[in-house]
Amino acid sequence: MSKDKTFTIGEFANLFGISKQTLFYYERNNIFVPNMIADNGYRYYTMDQYYIFEIIITLRKLGIPLKTIKNYVEHRNSLDLEKLLDDKILEYDLQIELLKQNMANLIKRSNRMKQTDKIINKTFFIEECPKEYYVSTSLDSNKTMKEQITVVAAHNAPFTTNEIFTEHINGYIFTKENYEKGTISFANYIYTRINYAEEYSFSHIKPEGNYAILLTNDAGHQKYAAFIKELLLFIKEKKLTPMSDCYICQLRNYWTTDNPEKYIARLEIQVK
């Protein structure tokens, strides 16, 4: 075979700025093979193969599967190429939408973290809050720590496995019945705030209205009972009546520090 009409594997690789190993990879997978392999193992590629490999390497840059590329190269036509490109455009549209959603949620998370930077001491106040939706899972203080983590993981699974980075805020619920009896050593539910009722099955409503709020740092789980008592005392001093469960929203937790003293929480009880 004339050297003027063929390329060695090194020469062919240089045409595309790739390594010889890349060509070996395509050969092993029967995607693109040399026109001739000499007795000494030398591989030779023809000029026509340059155009074929240009198609392969370009489609590969678009992330099109090798099997699809091989099939197209062997049966190429304008209609199939249009379909390949249209399918890729649709895929990119979906990826762009996903990136936009992730960007919006990242901005929300970043802004919320900046707001919590200002919380350095306990702050009590009354605030009118809008209606919110959430999903919850009951907790059992009699379970082992391993069992409790399993319950929490099952609750978090719809959010952690979602491809979209969502600004879903977790927290704990201490029921009104229990805090009125003084049984507040262990949360009754873990909950996650969601955007609208239909987002997940079995959603609940945290009603709109006036809420007594406690913003505090040093908000490790072991401090929750004491914080609830302080919030109830604040409600009593304001001559108000607690009307709801106590919702404890974790504004900063293990995501930002391994020191519970640096945790920040927001406690809410509806009042009238």
pLDDT in tens, the chain (272 residues): 566 789 999 999 999 999 999 999 999 999 999 999 999 999 999 999 999 999 999 999 999 999 999 999 999 999 999 999 999 999 999 999 999 988 988 888 888 778 887 777 899 999 999 999 999 999 999 999 999 999 999 998 887 777 777 767 889 999 999 999 999 999 999 999 988 888 777 899 999 999 999 999 889 889 999 999 999 999 999 999 999 999 999 888 888 888 888 899 999 999 99
Full domain range(s) for residue 93 = 80-118
State the pLDDT at residue 2.
61
Indicate whether 11 and 124 sit together in one domain: no
Indicate whether 140 and 262 sit together in one domain: yes
Indicate whether 17 and 99 sit together in one domain: no
Indicate whether 228 and 141 sit together in one domain: yes
- For the chain, the domain total comes to 3
Residue 112 lies in a domain: yes
Distance from chain centroid for Cα 81: 34
Burial 233-260 (b: 16+ CB within 10 A, else e): ebbeeeebebbbbbbbbbbbbeeeeeee
State the pLDDT at residue 144.
93
Indicate whether 139 and 267 sit together in one domain: yes
- Please, are residues 159 and 192 in contact by the beta-carbon 8 Å criterion? yes
Indicate whether 178 and 56 sit together in one domain: no
Tokens of 254: 């293990």
Indicate whether 109 and 21 sit together in one domain: no
Indicate whether 195 and 98 sit together in one domain: no
Residue 246 lies in a domain: yes
Residue 219 lies in a domain: yes
Detail the DSSP E strand segments found in 47-169.
Answer: 123-129, 132-138
Indicate whether 130 and 183 sit together in one domain: yes
State the pLDDT at residue 260.
84
Indicate whether 105 and 136 sit together in one domain: no
* Distance separating alpha carbons of residues 41 and 27, to the nearest angstrom: 13
Residue 70 lies in a domain: yes
HSE (side-chain half, CA atoms, 13 Å) at 83: 8
State the pLDDT at residue 243.
97
State the pLDDT at residue 109.
80
Entry pTM: 0.72
Q: Which of 15, 42, 76 is the C-terminal boundary of a domain?
A: 76
